[in-house]
């Protein structure tokens, strides 16, 4: 169904035309897009009262094809409530996101803050479309009326009935909100298809004959069994263009999940041990990040990680190599096999890194004990703990993490894939949140663990029954825990808060 209408604003000092186009799919209650093209007057200047006045004075026969969409757009812009004087059946339709959406009862009111509608029993039909309008920075909600009813503003409406709309359709909020990803290994974004393509391009012989064989190899029993195939896959990364292509592919996936900022890990020792020049690695990754910021509007920080299964002297040599790239590398971290490789082994390396101006993070408390988290905090003096899920085994550690609001970059799907938790339903992320910890959601090595950040959010919400407030808090925590400036953090958090 296509409903096209024009609204001419009447009265006031300005004059503008608005065109509304609703493209409704005939099945599964989907609306693909809602587009509003407007000239002459900003959407914010429409005003609910003006739209209502025009709506109520348009000849009755024209009303179903005129300004219903504009009415609800203006309502959202101004956070006003629209009263339906009679109950009307409502159909809530997500903008190309999901067919499983709720039309909740709110006593005959449309409430822009929760995107819910009343449900009644008269023949009048109202169709709601919820899609994203990027240039206006708002959610565009369309209303097409099969028959005309008078509408009025109700500033006294109470739109809380104790139900969280996220309980019905979490995908809508999760896909819409801006995100920061703080725990992402670029080598861990090497999808099987790219692995095969780069192997062909660089003449590398893989121990797998097909993409399907590679995927079947992703049956890990622990962190070490994952790292074995992880390092084997890295063999295909040879040239600067390889690292560029790998990073660019991740950024495009991240953009689809509405990631606005990423702090991306790379493991130079994985490559320099194969005689790949340090500069080849850094320039390829950084070049893609710079282009991604320009073209995809994703800001970034680059974090170099030391491999803890190698010696501290190897790490110090890698740090020396990195000094020539201090304009590109923002922080250093510690990753690889955790058990048997405590952070204390790298105290001198991290002391030197801080002297050189690098910020510090470290993987701790994933497979390793809570004592590794204490060491990372007290000896490496890190800004963030990567993973950290075993902190709950130590109440004193939890109190410190809460008191100092030390961020934990948690990776739910990774934790299940590597058998830190048997199932996602057993994950302790919600318990961490409820304890007051600064928890974030990330994807770790998404090509290997079956989900990028959006999938981590969605599946974790489903498994742990996270509320709308939980989702917003997790997203806010990530920006707050990032290495962005305070002004940049607040800009992103304000955008998060403004989302209805």
Indicate which residues carry an active-site annotation: 366
The alpha-carbon radius of gyration of the chain (Å, integer) is 26
Closest CA to 188 of 146, 232, 150: 232
**CA dist 212 to 48, 237, 411, Å?**
55, 20, 25
Exposure letters 164-199 (e unless 16+ CB within 10 A, then b) = bbbebbbbbbbbbbbbbbbbbbbbbbbbbebbbebb
Pairing of strands 152-153, 82-83: antiparallel
- 369: how many CB neighbours lie within 10 A of its CB? 16
3-state secondary structure of 398: helix
For every residue of 121-163, DSSP letters joined together read -SS--EEEEEEEEGGGTEEEEEEEESS----EE-TT-----S-
**CA dist 377 to 216, 225, 345, 472, Å?**
38, 28, 14, 27
What is the rounded CA–CA span in Å between residue 91 and residue 89?
7
24 CB contacts (<8 Å, ≥6 apart)?
Answer: 1, 2, 3, 30, 31, 32, 93, 127, 129
């Amino acid at each position: 169904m296509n409903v096209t209408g024009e609204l001419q604003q009447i009265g006031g000092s300005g004059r503008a035309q608005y065109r509304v186009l609703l493209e409704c799919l005939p099945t599964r209650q989907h609306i693909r897009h809602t587009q509003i093209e407007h000239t002459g007057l900003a959407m914010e200047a429409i005003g609910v009262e003006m739209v209502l006045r025009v709506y109520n004075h348009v000849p009755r026969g024209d009303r179903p094809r005129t300004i219903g969409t504009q009415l609800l757009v203006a309502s959202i812009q101004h956070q006003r409530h629209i009263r339906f004087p009679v109950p009307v059946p409502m159909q809530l339709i997500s903008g190309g996101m999901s067919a499983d959406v709720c039309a909740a009862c709110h006593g005959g009111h449309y409430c822009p803050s929760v995107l819910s509608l009343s449900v009644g029993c008269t023949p009048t039909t109202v169709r709601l479309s919820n899609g994203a309008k990027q240039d206006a920075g708002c959610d565009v909600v369309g209303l097409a009326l099969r028959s005309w009813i008078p509408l009025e503003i109700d500033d006294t409406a109470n739109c809380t009935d104790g139900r969280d709309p996220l309980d019905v359709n979490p995908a809508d909020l999760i896909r819409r909100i801006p995100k920061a990803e703080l725990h992402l290994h670029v080598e861990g974004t090497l999808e099987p298809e790219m692995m095969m393509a780069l192997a062909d391009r660089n003449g590398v012989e893989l121990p797998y004959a097909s993409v399907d064989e590679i995927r079947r190899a992703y049956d890990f029993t622990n962190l070490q069994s994952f790292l074995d195939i992880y390092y084997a896959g890295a063999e295909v990364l040879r040239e600067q263009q390889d690292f560029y292509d790998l990073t660019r592919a991740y950024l495009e996936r991240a953009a689809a999940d509405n990631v606005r900022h990423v702090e991306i890990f790379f493991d130079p020792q994985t490559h320099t041990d194969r005689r790949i020049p340090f500069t080849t690695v850094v320039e390829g990754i950084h070049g893609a990040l710079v282009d991604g910021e320009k073209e995809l509007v994703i800001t970034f920080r680059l974090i170099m990680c030391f491999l803890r299964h190698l010696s501290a002297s190897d790490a110090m040599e890698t740090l020396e190599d990195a000094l020539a790239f201090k304009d590109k590398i923002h922080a250093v971290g510690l990753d690889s096999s955790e058990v048997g490789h405590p952070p204390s082994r790298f105290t001198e390396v991290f002391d030197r890194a801080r002297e050189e101006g690098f910020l510090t993070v470290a993987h701790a408390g994933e497979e390793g004990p809570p004592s590794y988290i204490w060491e990372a905090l007290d000896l490496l003096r890190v800004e963030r703990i990567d993973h950290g899920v075993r902190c709950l085994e130590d109440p004193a550690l939890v109190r410190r993490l809460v008191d100092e609001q030390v961020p934990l970059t948690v990776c739910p799907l990774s934790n299940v894939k590597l058998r830190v938790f048997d199932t996602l339903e057993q994950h302790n992320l919600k318990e961490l949140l409820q304890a007051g910890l600064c928890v974030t959601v990330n994807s770790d090595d998404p090509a290997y663990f079956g989900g990028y950040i959006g999938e981590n959010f969605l599946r974790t919400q489903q498994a742990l029954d996270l509320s709308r407030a939980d989702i917003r808090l997790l997203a806010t925590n990530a920006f707050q825990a990032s290495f962005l400036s305070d002004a940049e953090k607040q800009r992103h958090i304000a955008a998060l808060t403004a989302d209805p």
